[in-house]
Chains A and B, each alone.
Chain A
Amino acid sequence: MSHIAVVVEGTAAAPAGPSVVSLSGITKSFGPTLANAGIDLSVRAGDVIGLVGGNGAGKSTLMRILCGAMWPTLGAISFAGEEVPFAAYNTGEAQRRGIRMVHQELSLCANLSVAENFFLESPGDSASRPGWRALYRTRARAALDAVFPGNGIDADAEVGHLTIAERQMVEIARAAATPGVKLIVLDEPTSSLDLDRSKQLRAFVRGRAKAGLAFIFISHKLQEIIDIATEVVVLRNGRMAWQGHASDASIGKLVQLMGGDANPIHQHSVSAASSQDLLVRLSGALTSELGRDVDIVRGEIVGLAGLEGSGQKELLHAIFKPDRKQQATVARHAEAGFIAGDRQKEGVFPLWSVLSNISIGALARRSALGVVSERANSDTAKRAASKLRLDDTRFQSNITELSGGNQQKALVARALVADTPVILLDDPTRGVDIATKQDFYRLCNEVARGGRALIWHTTEDAELLACDRVLVFSGGHIVSELAGEAITEQAIVGASFAQPAVSQSNVASKRTAMAGLGRKLVNAAPFIGLAAVLAIMIAINPAVASTFGLDLLLMPALSLVLVTAAQMFIVGGSEIDLGVGAFAGLVSVLSATLLYDQPWLGTVALVAALAAYAGLGGVIQARRIPAIVVTLGASFIWVGIGYALQPTPGGASPDWLTTLFGWSIGFMPTSIIMIAAVALMVLAIDRLPLGVVLRGFGNNPAAMIRSGWSPTRYALVRYLIAGLFAGAAGLSLTAINTASDINSGNSFTLLSVAAVVMGGCSLIGGIISPVGAVAGAVTLSLIGALLGTLSVSSDYNAATQGLILIALLTLRSLTADSRSES
């Protein structure tokens, strides 16, 4: 492996400032492929380094290493001359040393406000003081205005409601405003910004660079790079291809430097694609820039090119499943197979042998009742494997034991045994070594000549030379079609950088508006339900409206409200507790037996129960096991302990406990005051920094960990809070019934889930709505009384509650917006 690296210190003119960070000899291998090979990069205060390179040139790998998200195979990193061993270097350490990265895939918590997201990134100062939110609100506003004057973003707005461009602006401003920041890496920061915002950003970068802040600016928009950078670094195939002053660079030169391999991979003959057997037709908005339909016929290889995320993947999926979005723009006339490049996520079946992984391609197209013959599978697979030079002695090995290249061959073999006329390839050579790649290209050629059509999306522009035709994408549209000799890397890169003329249609926004109305109705459901239930009951029996009547009716609801509060915190972490009702029952038993007889022992037992409950959360998080099964198992433990202590209902409530729940101020029902107090308490916790962190974990745990928060600690805290509320529910049961029964809490488990869902909390986590959930809980607990008032048998209680839950979830799923589905 030869180094083409350029050592910065040696070649650069008079250093503009002290070195902030330098990487030297960075090499990173993924199996046989080198994503980075011997790269040296030094960043000094005040530098703006423009980092460019084609798809797969190694930019993201290098930046991940710089930010501590990945360790290199070889190489060193040093800060201001002091070398730091990589073993001690991670994202947290990178942040402490003043490196911030603005990721292309956004790392904000969509369920939190702009100000709260600022808090997550730099929670340090005065976070626990009252008014902390105002502090971060001010900070967010100041930061946003400093970078993007006149942005009009409300610091209290929920990030999920912002446009992509606004989120990008928030993320940039958040990184720039971090105290102690020395280097900011901007990964494609302008990809979703319009020209004015992009200019503002560049002006800001220039200004801050003068003040000594360093930037690394990654962009495919070469004009911007030349405009903003003081220095340009060009990567190509994981190596440093060029480094120099921006004044020495031009767009033409950079494009040339970024170009891939000089020798074409494959010499194809255009005449081979002859058969007029139409397999796929692309038309409509997709090809409007081109001005004509695109027909794909048997025997050809069609490449999809363009900058990453310009619509190539979407097209592949649309061809695979044309009816998915009612896209009339794609018509497929024959079956299609799919070869995924992201092998771990959407390719291999990790529990299976190579053979099973191949033969599933044929099985998927057979009747489910058919019988599988290992021998027939093996014969078919062998035929496919022999074409691929895939060693069939390894058929019985687990697929994950194979190298990336051989795994990919197995996936191709899967598509071959499926025997579909159309084969879709989604970046199939990602992470595959060069020799296998050559095999792969040869094979694709054979397959195509055998009468199939291959539609090939690749992020390596050089591979497109193997295609008969290339469709170049930009902004979701096909902007250019290249064929035969016209396919050159220059032409592809040139067309990729063309800006699309057409903007996105706004059909989607109309749909979301409709769904928004539905959602509002669903969100109001608990309040409407509560009002309706109370109205009916008062109409039939006016005595209900008295203070005493309401108290009698609502006091039993208090326990459910408390359990609901507990469940809400668990659901906020995208889990469900099936033992919460049983836990409340256990606390009730403990308080009516041990606590009544021996207060000290009782207190110890209660604390121990609470600790066990919180520990459950820790176990679930640390072992990554399904919360439902663990909590279901735990519910048996709670009930078992309760039975052992008190086989039949009984016991007595300690006097102080009865008093605690039994006071009265006369004019206002005690139960209403206490229910409101619970709602306020949940609301208060939710508004504290702690609540913000918990909601952050519910929404985007990856981003939370990236910002340096400990998942295990907050899992423990989450379950501890839930345990406290469930425990209070248990105490209330004892106080209200003046006795205990281990089964008294059982029915609360489902009801609490139902109330939480009714209240508008998302089961996917991260959304807490205490008031709605409390209203839901009260409504549900009144169902029994309502049925009684209507003289319906209480047998229908459970069914009514179950049906309400099903109806609400159905409504919710029908009106769900894209955000909660993603």
Chain B
Amino acid sequence: MNAFASFGIWAQRNRWIWAAIGVLILWLVLSVVTNRFSLSSLSGVILSASFLTIVAIGQMFVVTTGRGNVDLSIASVITLSAFVALLTIKGQDANLAIGVIAAILLGLGVGALNSLLVVGLGIPAIIATLATGYVLATATLLSNKAIPGFAVSPALKELATGRISGVPIMAAIAILGVAATSFVLRYTVFGQLLSAVGQNRAAARLAGIRSGPVVASAFIISSVLASLDGLLLGAYIGGAFLEMGQPYLLQSIAAVVLGGTLIFGGSATALGTLFASILLILIVTTMQIIGLPPGAQDIVQGIVVIFVLALAGRQAMARRTPADLADGDKDPEATTKVPAAVQPR
């Protein structure tokens, strides 16, 4: 009983554990039921999950800035980046550096545009990034016509699909990225500022924090990571196609929320995002194994997101209610209604 209680307290601070437990259970069940799952098949799942993890880490930064911020442009960034990689690298290792620089520049450009719209002009993040995404969609259509062919540079191909003693290189990259992100969130000034801005923007301002640059960096990180991810994803699938980034839009948000990052902002966990990414890919894989029709996968993912959010929403309310009551309000609902997506500046 006591052990349960102390685990509960520990789990409250380490919300990633729920996603990790989910992965473990689902994997065990599948291994027993199908008799097919092994450590190596799990590593295949982790390889696919790596691509999701990288985008989701970027999304996590944006969500953590609070006020219902999300980056809806990542889907288009991923697709466009894959096309740009085909255009710049042209299957030659010699052009790899140019390709990487182009991907980073693309990410920086889109991130800067998003930041300008959100921070500079005070346009709600959801609309600003949605609009940016549409502009990028045209760029994708144009580059689709311009690509010379589906040749992928061998070095990049090796990076995206290769393994070193059984461990996918991509998985190692994703795990390193998660470790670096955890360090940034926990041990750097930036991580603290990000959390402060996401928790309470008014308090952050009065504590002397300039929230503009913090929020802008989150959008830039998100775009750059999505862009690099598009480059690698293109190499993984051996080309690029329209709408290839589309599944990552909902999945990245789902991975963030499922991993234990608060959708209201202020608290992020990179480890949770990693495990949630693996869990999501496992769910999709499971559905493929069971042989559900194509639409069912979408349905399940949508339900998972709404269900987890509804649960998390209650948690956040329970935590905030005492504060509201201390403030003298019998009915916190009357005063705390905040338009989720469309907060004015």
Contact = CB atoms under 8 A, between A and B. Distances in A.
Contact of A338 (B196, B207, B217, B266): B207
A803 B262 CA distance: 32
Contacts of A371: 187-189
A400 interface: yes
Interface in A745-777: 750, 753-754, 757, 763-765
Interface in B310-335: 310, 312-314, 316-317, 319-320, 322-324, 326-331, 333-335
Given A349-B200, A627-B341, A642 B295 contact: yes
B344 A643 contact: no
A706 B186 CA distance: 43
A632 B249 contact: yes
Contact of A809 (B117, B135, B295, B312): B117
Contacts of A367: 189
B192 interface: yes
B196 A750 contact: no
Given A70-B330, A372-B189, A414 B207 contact: yes
Contacts of A380: none
A702 B263 CA distance: 23
Contacts of A643: 293-295, 298
Given A368-B213, A763-B342, A636 B206 contact: no
Contact of A369 (B117, B188, B317): B188
Nearest to B192: A363
B132 interface: yes
Interface residues on chain B, size class = 35 or more
A673 interface: no
Contact of B190 (A368, A647, A701, A750): A368
Interface string B195-237: 1100110111111110001100100000000000000000000
A809 B250 contact: no
A635 interface: yes
Interface stretch (A339-347, A487-495, A556-564): A339-347
Interface string A41-70: 000000000000000000001001000011
Nearest to B144: A795
B104 interface: no
A356 B331 contact: no
B317 A624 contact: yes
B209 A364 contact: yes
B70 A629 contact: yes
B8 interface: no
B296 A640 contact: yes
B68 to A, nearest CB: 5
A655 interface: no
B250 A632 contact: yes
Contact of B306 (A351, A634, A701, A754): A634
A739 interface: no
Contact of A345 (B124, B202, B300, B301): B202
B330 A71 contact: yes
A594 B297 CA distance: 21
Contact of B196 (A90, A349, A404, A647): A349
B339 A574 contact: yes
B190 A799 contact: no
Interface in A775-822: 795-803, 805-806, 809-810, 813-814, 820-822
B157 to A, nearest CB: 29
A645 B141 CA distance: 29
Given A337-B208, A636-B298, A822-B344, A702 B189 contact: no
A697 to B, nearest CB: 9
Contacts of B207: 338, 360-361, 364, 414, 418
B56 to A, nearest CB: 14
Interface string B133-159: 111011101100100000000000000
A418 B301 contact: no
Contacts of B132: 802, 806
A360 B133 CA distance: 35
Contacts of B303: 633, 637
Given A404-B326, A809-B123, A629 B193 contact: no
A625 B340 contact: yes
Interface in B285-304: 293-304
A575 interface: yes
B208 A418 contact: yes
B257 interface: yes
Interface string B260-289: 001100110000000000000000000000
B130 A765 contact: no
A628 B341 contact: yes
Interface string A356-391: 100011011111111110000000000000000000
Contacts of B204: 349, 364
Nearest to A335: B208
B96 interface: no
B195 A370 contact: no
B337 interface: yes
Contacts of B313: 623-625
> For B121, B128, B249, which residue has the most chain A Cβ atoms within 10 angstroms?
B121
B172 interface: no
Interface string A510-553: 00000000000000000000000000000000000000000000
Nearest to A347: B203
B188 A351 contact: no
Contact of A805 (B131, B304, B337): B131
A575 B190 CA distance: 31
Nearest to A754: B131
A350 B257 contact: no
A600 interface: no
A637 B299 contact: yes
Contacts of B305: 629-630, 632-633, 636
B339 A765 contact: yes
A571 to B, nearest CB: 8
Interface string A691-720: 000000000011001100001000000000
Given A623-B314, A627-B340, A639-B298, A344 B327 contact: yes
B36 interface: no
Interface string B63-83: 000001010100000000000
A538 B291 CA distance: 53
> For B187, B262, B326, which residue has the most chain A Cβ atoms within 10 angstroms?
B326
B44 interface: no
Interface in A634-670: 634-637, 639-645, 647
Interface string A267-309: 0000000000000000000000000000000000000000000
A351 B295 contact: no
A92 to B, nearest CB: 11
Nearest to B213: A368
B17 interface: no
Contacts of A264: none
A576 B341 contact: yes
A180 interface: no
A706 B310 CA distance: 26
A801 B133 CA distance: 11
Given A364-B208, A644-B295, A763-B127, A633 B306 contact: yes
A31 interface: yes
9 contacts: A70-B329, A344-B326, A351-B195, A578-B126, A619-B310, A634-B302, A636-B299, A637-B306, A705-B334
Given A360-B209, A626-B340, A628-B68, 15 more contacts: A70-B329, A350-B319, A364-B207, A365-B208, A370-B189, A414-B207, A623-B314, A625-B309, A633-B306, A637-B298, A643-B298, A805-B131, A806-B117, A809-B128, A821-B344
Top-7 shortest CB links A-B = A643-B295, A640-B298, A802-B134, A799-B138, A644-B295, A640-B299, A636-B302
Interface of A: 30-31, 35, 61, 64, 69-71, 90, 320, 335, 337-338, 340, 344-352, 356, 360-361, 363-372, 400, 404, 414, 418, 420, 574-576, 578, 619, 623-630, 632-637, 639-645, 647, 701-702, 705-706, 711, 750, 753-754, 757, 763-765, 795-803, 805-806, 809-810, 813-814, 820-822
